Amino acid sequence: MSHATTLRCRKCGREYPLKPLNLCDFCLSPLEVNYDYKAMAAAVSRDKLAAGPPGMYRYRELLPIESDPVDIGTGFTPLTKADNLGRELGLDNLYVKNDGLNPTFSFKDRVVSVAATKAVEFGFNAIACASTGNLAASVAAHAARANLKAYVFVPADVEAGKLVGAAVYNPVLLTVDGSYDDVNRLCRQLTDKFKWGFININLRPYYAEGSKTLGYEVAEQLGWRAPDCIVAPAASGLLFTRIWKGLEELAMLGLIDSVDTHMFVTQAAGSSPIVNAFNAGSMHVNPVIPETIVKSIAIGNPADGYYALRVARQTGGGGCSVTDEEALAGVRLLAQTEGIFAEAAGGVVIGSLKKLAAAGSIKRDQLTVAFITGAGPRTQEILTDIVRPLAVKPTVASVEELLNVSA
Ligand SMILES: *Cc1c(COP(=O)(O)O)cnc(C)c1O
Ligand SMILES: [Zn+2]
């Protein structure tokens, strides 16, 4: 049995039963899973957690699930000390959390696994989502694993690699003529019509909880401590808030000392409503129309933007956006220094990290973790112009001639 007790409105505090619900009836604010932390604290210890399976369900006691999880092998991805990249950026204590190494190549497997498990518990026989691409693949994969039907909705201009990455699991794949924000609005309307578990709509409070495991893992992998600084991307802003919530919970449970992490939120300049608000000193996130190649995080009207902004503010962190060119340079820099091929969202994180270090917002000795949330091969087409092979004949002479010429 989990230690989840109710759903609670983040604004007015009203409580609701643990059902497929995501908004408060009174103030329309998002609902969040509420736990019996006393019981949870009694059930967990560092040793017990460390002895668990090498995946996200080592933290099962901290998640709102009652049954065996729908698990395709997600979590406990590497946290790498990034000395080469750190040297480039002037950071002596830099780590990269490579969450592109999940089964469907993005951190979305964490959130979908929890939501799909709840979908089974609630008796849905189909799961569905509005997606910028990565979520579609993860939902389709978890549906396959759980013998559920999957309906995935994506904007028609999504990258080809993302369509293949979802289609291979055989969902009902629907491309929508519109932006992600249009897809999301459509899916909210469909939630009232169809008895489907919409992973990021009516199952959203449970979905959200999956992201906390990223915070737990990083703290455990650092030897049970919170980083000084975290740099992470935001689309809806949910992941960013939940990394923080994960750390706060560990402190509340006495598993780490108090958390003094500065949280830096990053977005592509062509879709940066949260960073814009941070830089304007405002608490109001004004929607934008996304225009960027970084499609996986291109949400113009972020559902959790306000809460992400609040985390960045409260923690003495910051906000940073980069151009598409800077994001691509970030992808190449990470690959060329650490051998990690991230998708464009990772380029946004690395490009922003570079700026934050140069500006002194992140200091040389601070223990900093950069979050890579998706893997590169899905969106390779954005980098095709870096491929400039040297063409030779299949003879030694040809190779020698060419290398002499080009050396
Ligand atoms: C979905 C996604 C995010 C951010 O997700 P939110 O929780 O909506 O902010 C970040 N990176 C990648 C690669 C994603 O697919
Ligand atoms: Zn409310």
With a cut of 80, say whether residue 338 has pLDDT above it: yes
Q: How many A from CA of 31 to the centre of ligand 2?
A: 8
* Beta bridge partner(s), residue 264: 231, 318
> Which ligand has its closest atom nearest to the C-alpha of 105?
1
Pocket test for ligand 1, best of 108, 184, 334 (most atoms within 8 A of CB): 108
Nearest to residue 323, comparing CAs of 276, 374, 270? 270
Tell me the CA distances in angstroms from 137 to 132, 180, 244, 309, 353, one per residue in order: 10, 16, 26, 28, 28
- What pLDDT, in 10s, does the model give residues 202-248? 999 999 999 999 999 999 999 999 999 999 999 999 999 999 999 99
Alpha carbon distance 215, 240 (integer Å): 10
Tell me the CA distances in angstroms from 81 to 93, 98, 213, 344, 351, one per residue in order: 8, 11, 20, 21, 18
Q: How many A from CA of 30 to the centre of ligand 2?
A: 8
Residue 1 has a pLDDT of 83
Q: How many A from CA of 78 to the centre of ligand 2?
A: 38
Alpha carbon distance 210, 107 (integer Å): 9
Q: How many A from CA of 265 to the centre of ligand 1?
A: 12
Residue 407 has a pLDDT of 54
CA-237 nearest atom, ligand 1 = 9
- What pLDDT, in 10s, does the model give residues 19-65? 999 999 999 999 999 999 999 999 999 999 999 999 999 999 999 99
Terminal C-alpha separation, the chain: 65
Q: Is 139 in the pocket of ligand 1 (CB under 6 A)?
A: no
- φ/ψ region of 5 (left if φ > 0, alpha if ψ in -120 to 50, else beta) reads alpha
Q: Is 237 in the pocket of ligand 1 (CB under 6 A)?
A: yes
List, in order, residues 6 or more apart from 100 with CB less than 8 Å away: 77, 106, 340, 341, 342, 343, 346, 372, 373, 374, 375, 376
Residue 157 has a pLDDT of 86
> Which ligand has its closest atom nearest to the C-alpha of 22?
2
Q: How many A from CA of 371 to the centre of ligand 1?
A: 11
Q: Is 234 in the pocket of ligand 1 (CB under 6 A)?
A: yes
Q: How many A from CA of 108 to the centre of ligand 1?
A: 7
CA-374 nearest atom, ligand 1 = 13
Average pLDDT, the chain: 95
User: What mean pLDDT is predicted for residues 163-169?
Assistant: 94
With a cut of 90, say whether residue 192 has pLDDT above it: no
Q: How many A from CA of 404 to the centre of ligand 1?
A: 46
Q: Is 276 in the pocket of ligand 1 (CB under 6 A)?
A: no
Lowest-confidence region among 220-229, 320-329, 371-380: 371-380
- What pLDDT, in 10s, does the model give residues 292-309? 999 999 999 999 999 999
What's the per-residue H, E or C state across 289-340? CCCCCCHHHCCCCCCCHHHHHHHHHHCCCEEEEECHHHHHHHHHHHHHHHCC
Binned at pLDDT 50, 70 and 90, residue 142 comes out as: very high
* Beta bridge partner(s), residue 77: none
> Which ligand has its closest atom nearest to the C-alpha of 342?
1
With a cut of 90, say whether residue 404 has pLDDT above it: no
Sheet order of strands, 149-155 included: 172-176, 149-155, 126-130, 197-198
With a cut of 80, say whether residue 281 has pLDDT above it: yes
With a cut of 80, say whether residue 406 has pLDDT above it: no
Residue 186 has a pLDDT of 94
With a cut of 60, say whether residue 388 has pLDDT above it: yes
Q: How many A from CA of 33 to the centre of ligand 2?
A: 13
Q: Is 345 in the pocket of ligand 1 (CB under 6 A)?
A: yes
Residue 123 has a pLDDT of 97
Residue 158 has a pLDDT of 86
Long-range contacts (CB closer than 8 Å, 24 or more residues apart) made by 282-291: 283/309, 283/310, 283/313, 285/309, 287/181, 289/179, 290/179, 290/180
* Domains of the chain by start residue, with CATH: 4-67+108-207 (3.40.50.1100), 79-105+211-386 (3.40.50.1100)
Residue 405 has a pLDDT of 67
Q: Is 111 in the pocket of ligand 1 (CB under 6 A)?
A: no
CA-235 nearest atom, ligand 1 = 9
> Which ligand has its closest atom nearest to the C-alpha of 24?
2
Helices 238-252 and 212-221: crossing angle, nearest 10°?
Answer: 50
Residue 384 has a pLDDT of 87
Alpha carbon distance 50, 170 (integer Å): 36
Lowest-confidence region among 4-13, 185-194, 343-352: 185-194
Lowest-confidence region among 95-104, 178-187, 239-248, 369-378: 178-187
Binned at pLDDT 50, 70 and 90, residue 160 comes out as: confident
pTM value?
A: 0.95
Residue 144 has a pLDDT of 98
